[in-house]
Structure 1
Amino acid sequence: MNNLTVFNRDGQLYTDSREVAEMIGKDHAHLMRDITGYIEVLNQSKIGFVDFFKKSGYKDAKGEERPCYNITKKGCEFVANKLTGEKGIIFTAAYVNAFHYMEDKLAGKPTKPKKISLASFNHLLEINVRQMKAANQPATRIASWTNGMTREVLAPFGIDVPALPDAVPTTYDATEMAKKLGVYSKSGNPHPQPITAIIKKVGLAPGETFTTETTVHRGGKDVPDVRYAGSVLDKVHKWLDAEGWPNPIVLGKKYSVVYKERH
């Protein structure tokens, strides 16, 4: 279900809690319980709940009376604030579109989709940020997902959200690894030689090494600049941990090192 029915009751626009429950994938009884909790909080704060929710009822298939709530646009925003991820985004877009459609219809305006308000758009962004912080996944992966979802949902409203550029993997050369791990020479500079020796010791998997532009060294010889994937940095770190951060590092040669604060 991707559309909400909005109706006019005594000059106030509402949607039905049963439709809201279906759209957000929640059992209606559970949503009723949540709304009852919201009303209790509003009452304790001396904020009238009638601007958000109104008690109502319906007859079930057996003809028995069942409770439900009529939910205003403000009430829908209240419900949406408790949601995260895809459900929150889709529900927010749906209720904004449905209420705008009915408002335009009652005002005698053309009932074409209306651009989403800035406040609602900001709400969508807040949902995305909350999702990124809550999810136990890499931020780049979550950012890509939320960006794609936001683009898809907001496109019908005429809002063009720029796509994120493809994520560029973080790579390191041996000197940068030495600095990250705090492996320095006695002269006080990052010490790439022992890092390179450790890399040879632990081995590389396919795709863990990258050759960039060459650098001209003494004698006019072009030497490729080799960079390594972040996983190689992890391997070197684990090797140092396993060996107890030795000094010197002995791998064919002896490398005297000074360990400093890691970056």
Structure 2
Amino acid sequence: MNNLVVMKHNGILVVDSREAAKVLGVRHSDLLRDIEKYIVTFENSENAILRSQDFFIESSYTTDGNSKDYKNYLVTEKGCEFISHKRTGQKGILFTATYINGFHAMKDALRNPVVGLLPQSYPEALRALAVEVEAKEKLMLENKELEIQLDRSQEYYSIKRVAILNGVDWRVFSWRDLKEASEDIGVPVKKIPDANYLNVNVYHHSAWGAVYPEYELD
């Protein structure tokens, strides 16, 4: 049975809808469709107490090498309970048990902030997910990590590293153009470990020079 990673978002404990879909054994797109149906029902209700944000908080995420934003939801404990009531059979039972365990573990950890109290998977997963929903924290952690990593590989540069060096938005660069230039020149595209995305692509300085000669690399 998969673990549900519970994280804190604006003071509220939530889980990522992508993680919930994995535990439920359904496609994320199908779960999104269900959640949006629930939200429409809440918003059309005459009951002023019902607020969809108490159950589901709209969010977004990006994937490595792709600047497109994809929708997801941060599901509160109430939202998990609501989803579990809509599921029957073994999957519904397992999801209920999993989300209860996840929220209880996080609440215990917050009450007892002792080093090593959380299972090994929780701090790692929390770090990876928190950077997706907390933009400022994401940028700070990512920049620091990339600076350390790229000191070990001076000939290769990531998109976000070059953006930082030049003070521009990383979205101005195209990973497809850099990849194509790398293939034309005959230099490999490498990957380096990253705390936020597991791995990020880095491109040889000659590929950068071919595609974006106007930008500084040092």
Q: TM-score, normalised by structure 1?
A: 0.41
User: Would you tell me which structure has more helix in proportion to its own residues?
Assistant: 2
Q: Which has the larger radius of gyration?
A: 1
**Larger RCO, structures 1/2 (Cα 8 Å, 6+ apart):** 2
Q: TM-score, normalised by structure 2?
A: 0.49
